Amino acid sequence: MELSLLLIFCYGILHAFGPDHLTAIADFSIGKNKKKTMMITTLFAIGHGLSLFIFAKILQSADISGEILAYGDIISATVIIAMGLYLLFMVMTDRIHLRKHMHHGEEHIHIWFGKSHDHEDTVAEGSSFTMGLLMGAGGVRGMLITLGAVGSGNVDFTMIGAFTAGVMLIFVGFGMIILYLNQHFLGNITNVRRAFATAGVISLVVGTNILLG
C-alpha cells in the first residue's frame, strides 16, 4: 500500500506540471505577497484533489460516457481562456494599480484591480479554489484510470490525498517562483502591466491549444 501511495504521489507531481495548471496559478499569483501566494496555490491543489475525488465517486456509481467526460477539458480550457481575456482587459483599460508604502521600516507593494483597494483580497483565494475544482474536471478519466490501475480499480480518499500532496508540492514550488518574480521584478506599474499582459496571452495560447488538441 505504501508503494502504491508513493506512485500516486509521484503521478500527482507529474500531473501538476501541466501547462494549464501552471498558467492558472500564475494568473492568480502575480502581484501577491507570500501569504496570499501560498494560500492561493494550496487552495488550488485542494480544489483539484476534491474535484477528482467527487468524480471518482460519481463514476463508481454511474456509467458516464467518455464523450461526456471530454467536456471536462473544454471546461478547463474555457476557464483559462476567460482568465486570459480578463487579464488583458484589465491591462488595456488601465485597471491595474500599484501602491507602495512602509510598514515597520519595510517597503510593501500592493497591486489590485479596479478602483477599490482591498487589503484582504479574499476573492483571489476563493477563485483559486473554484478554479482548482473546475480544472479537476479536465482529463479526469485519464487520471482516474491511472489511480484505479494502481489501486486495483478502487479510488479512495487516501489515494486522492497522496495525489493532492504531489500536486501541491509542485504548485507551491511554482508559487515560490512567482513570488520571487513579484518581489524582484514588479516594483513599478510598467512591469506589473507587462507581467499581467504576458500571463493573459499565455493563458489564451494554452487554453486554445487544449481546445484544438
E strand or H helix at 108: strand 106-113
pLDDT at 81: 93
pLDDT at 101: 64
pLDDT at 153: 56
Q: What is the pTM for the complete model shown? A: 0.79
Which DSSP string corresponds to 78-128? HHHHHHHHHHHHHHHTT-EEEEEEEETTEEEEEEEESS---SS-HHHHHHH
Asked if 20 and 102 touch (Cβ cutoff 8 Å), the reply is no
Provide the residue range defining the domain that includes 164.
Answer: 2-116+123-212
Q: Of 166, 172, 150, 128, which is closest to residue 38 (Cα–Cα)?
A: 172
pLDDT at 200: 93
The total domain count for the chain is: 1
Burial class, 177, CB count within 10 angstroms (exposed 0-12 / middle 13-18 / buried 19+): middle
Q: Which residues of the chain have pLDDT under 50?
A: none
What pLDDT, in 10s, does the model give residues 79-100? 889 989 999 999 999 888 877 7
State the cell numbers at 89.
482587459
What pLDDT, in 10s, does the model give residues 39-89? 889 988 898 888 877 777 776 666 666 566 667 778 878 888 998 999 999
State the cell numbers at 2.
505504501
